[in-house]
């Protein structure tokens, strides 16, 4: 058994492993080339997060989706580079919006160089992604534009919050479909499309990617509450402390509003207080971990992952399909 990609994904076929690994190496080289500038400072800032590493989850999906056509087709690697550059650009912007100090274990660009440089560096990455995209044809440009519109719409909806009368949980899931699912869907779509897979396979893999993307984000929500730092690699309750609404908290609030149970209302009051206080933060984490809302969020995560896996059913059996299903299992395991 061999291993490739994030989550310790196991690949049981040497040819598939070789294709995927070669593709990921080529993507890494493409990212470094795309982030070079004639201005050394721009190169430093643009390569800051590239060199910090990351899961390269989207390129991995593009490489696996390409297995349903010709994985060596010339557009596969550039398309994967485009998707990862777009993702990286959004991280620069997200860190400014969230006032983040750290990203991928290094100083965030905004904390190191200031908000203006971080925003402009993200814009530079978008420009470089567009330059590569132009060589992939007008259909690829249109697909990327639509996905990016959905991504930005999701971000705006998250910032604006649910409108009057809108179910906060459904609003949150819509945000996740746009903000996270759309770009992961494009990674799968581009991989299959550039490899020349038939239209039905491209559609299936696109649907798979969006559902998997939502499941991936919901698993992070669960981990923020349920894991210890050793398991997740991040401080538990980070989103909680920063007041970022996540699915377990939204389920808690919905249950408290519906049932008016004193313990639930007290926990909501605790969450609405100062969680910068370590004792209050620890108490909120302890009580959330024991609350049914956390298990409900786990069930939602599993549902999206299972839907993603089921979407793959019409595709031909093989190692690539098995690897995509294994990613669904890995997301469920993370949330378990």
Domain definitions of the chain by residue range: 12-197, 198-336
**CATH superfamily, with its number, for domain 12-197:** Farnesyl Diphosphate Synthase (1.10.600.10)
The reported pLDDT for the residue numbered 230 is 44
The 10s digit of each residue's pLDDT in 324-334 is: 999 999 988 88
The reported pLDDT for the residue numbered 232 is 45
Of the candidates 60, 62, 50, which has an alpha carbon nearest to the alpha carbon of residue 88?
A: 50
Question: Could you confirm whether domain 198-336 is CATH 1.10.600.10?
Answer: yes
> How high is the mean pLDDT of the chain?
90
The 10s digit of each residue's pLDDT in 127-169 is: 999 999 999 999 999 999 999 999 999 999 998 999 888 899 9
The reported pLDDT for the residue numbered 92 is 87
Q: From CA 126, how far away is CA 78, in angstroms rounded?
A: 14
pLDDT(233) > 60 = no
The 10s digit of each residue's pLDDT in 266-325 is: 999 999 998 989 999 999 999 999 999 999 999 999 999 999 999 999 999 999 999 999
Same fold, 12-197 and 198-336: yes
The reported pLDDT for the residue numbered 336 is 66
pLDDT, mean of residues 17-44: 95
Predicted confidence band of residue 11 (pLDDT cuts 50, 70, 90): low
Tokens read off for 89: 């650009």
- E strand segments, the chain: 2-3, 10-11, 102-103, 106-107
The reported pLDDT for the residue numbered 1 is 31
User: What length does the chain have?
Assistant: 336
The reported pLDDT for the residue numbered 10 is 62
Tokens read off for 196: 């020349």
User: Regarding predicted confidence, which is higher, 187 or 229?
Assistant: 187
Of the candidates 312, 318, 263, which has an alpha carbon nearest to the alpha carbon of residue 292?
A: 263
């Amino acid at each position: 058994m061999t291993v490739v990609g994030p989550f310790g994904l196991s690949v049981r076929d040497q040819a598939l492993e070789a294709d995927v690994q070669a593709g990921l190496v080529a993507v890494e080289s493409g990212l470094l080339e795309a982030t070079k500038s004639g201005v050394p400072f721009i190169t430093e800032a643009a390569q800051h997060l590239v060199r910090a590493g990351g899961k390269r989850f989207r390129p991995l999906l593009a490489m696996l989706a390409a297995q349903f056509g010709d994985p060596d087709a010339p557009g596969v690697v550039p398309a994967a580079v485009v998707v990862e550059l777009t993702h990286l650009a959004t991280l620069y912007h997200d860190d400014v919006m969230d006032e983040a100090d750290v990203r991928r274990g290094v100083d965030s660009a905004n904390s190191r160089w200031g908000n203006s440089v971080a925003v402009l560096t993200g814009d530079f990455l978008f420009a470089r992604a567009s330059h590569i995209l132009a060589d992939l044809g007008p259909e690829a440009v249109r697909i990327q534009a639509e996905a990016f519109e959905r991504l930005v719409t999701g971000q705006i909806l998250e910032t604006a919050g649910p409108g009057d009368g809108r179910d906060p949980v459904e609003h949150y899931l819509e945000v996740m479909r746009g903000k996270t699912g759309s770009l992961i869907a494009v990674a799968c779509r581009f991989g299959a499309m550039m490899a020349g897979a038939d239209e039905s396979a491209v559609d299936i893999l696109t649907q798979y990617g969006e559902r998997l993307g939502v499941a991936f984000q919901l698993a992070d929500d669960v981990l923020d509450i349920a894991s210890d730092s050793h398991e997740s690699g991040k401080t538990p309750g980070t989103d909680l402390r920063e007041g970022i609404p996540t699915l377990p908290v939204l389920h808690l609030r919905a249950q408290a509003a519906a049932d008016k149970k004193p313990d639930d209302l007290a926990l909501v009051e605790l969450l609405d207080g100062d969680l910068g206080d370590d004792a209050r933060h620890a108490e909120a984490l302890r009580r959330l971990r024991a609350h049914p809302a956390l298990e409900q969020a786990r069930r939602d995560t599993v549902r999206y992952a299972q839907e993603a896996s089921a979407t793959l059913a019409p595709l031909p059996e093989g190692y690539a399909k098995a690897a995509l299903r294994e990613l669904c299992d890995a997301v469920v395991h993370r949330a378990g």
